[in-house]
Amino acid sequence: MQYGMVIDLNKCVGCHACAIACKAEWEVPTEFGRNWLRRLGPSNTEHGLALTYYPGLCNHCDKPACVDVCPADMVEMEFKDTVSGKTVTMEVAATWKDPFNGTVQIDKKRCMGCGACADACPYDARYINPALADDESEGKADKCTYCMPRVAAGLQPACVQTCLADARIFGDLSDPASDVAKLVKQGAIGLTSKNVQIGPNSLYIGNKRDMALLMTQAPQEMPEANLRRSMLARMMKPAMKSVTNIGLAGLAGTLLVKSLEDDDK
């Protein structure tokens, strides 16, 4: 199984109901978003003048760049297929790709808030939510999860249920009989480029003009800044664990934050 979503640009009216529903469902701070909607154009394309919208969200990629850079300690987790009942045990960090439904998820309790995963995502689909800060971090990584708790309860993701134009279609891409799989056969594609080919599973379909304009939003390069951030977080973690003096711990934390700020600049 691979859960995915297809967004029909021919139907999207740019009402922002999807983004608002997501914020309400997951209590997302105003300045951030698990999903977003941006107006594109009017602009000339090879197929003529176009004006459309870019409804974006996590792509739950086949090869998610965010997973490998997570510096959190690996732990064993058991995953269960809700259909067959089969279970699999895997070692995962604080973010992983589910072996049965294909979604990419985050363990907020183990997330260090270092931001390495957010840096690694070429789609800028992750952010550090300061509202989730605890004693060990100034925030936690957050993003679209395809509303797995809702899906497990037999509901649609909040953005899909709220879409006034029925422009969002959610389902199992690996099931040929599903609506999303049928739309892929009709031409639904992800935002990819020559240098970014990590298998997005949030896809789009529309007329040639709108799709040509939308594809200008495809990332052209895989980020590199995340490598230093992840390395710093990995280096500082054991030091923070071994330091018992509060003053030294504070100093170590300050040095890490300063290094990451320099990296951002």
Instruction: Dump pLDDT digits (tens) for 90-129.
Output: 999 999 999 999 999 999 999 999 999 999 999 999 999 9
pLDDT at residue 204 greater than cutoff 60: yes
The more confidently predicted of residues 226 and 77 is 77
According to the model, what pLDDT value does residue 245 have?
Answer: 42
Identify the burial level of 189 via C-beta atoms within 10 angstroms of its C-beta, where 0-12 means exposed, 13-18 middle and 19 or more buried: middle
pLDDT at residue 240 greater than cutoff 70: no
- % of residues, the chain, pLDDT over 70: 85
- Overall average pLDDT of the 47-64 stretch: 97
According to the model, what pLDDT value does residue 84 have?
Answer: 86
Kindly indicate whether the domain formed by 3-217 is annotated with CATH number 3.40.605.10.
no
Cβ(200)–Cβ(192) below 8 Å: yes
What is the pTM (predicted TM-score) of this model? 0.86
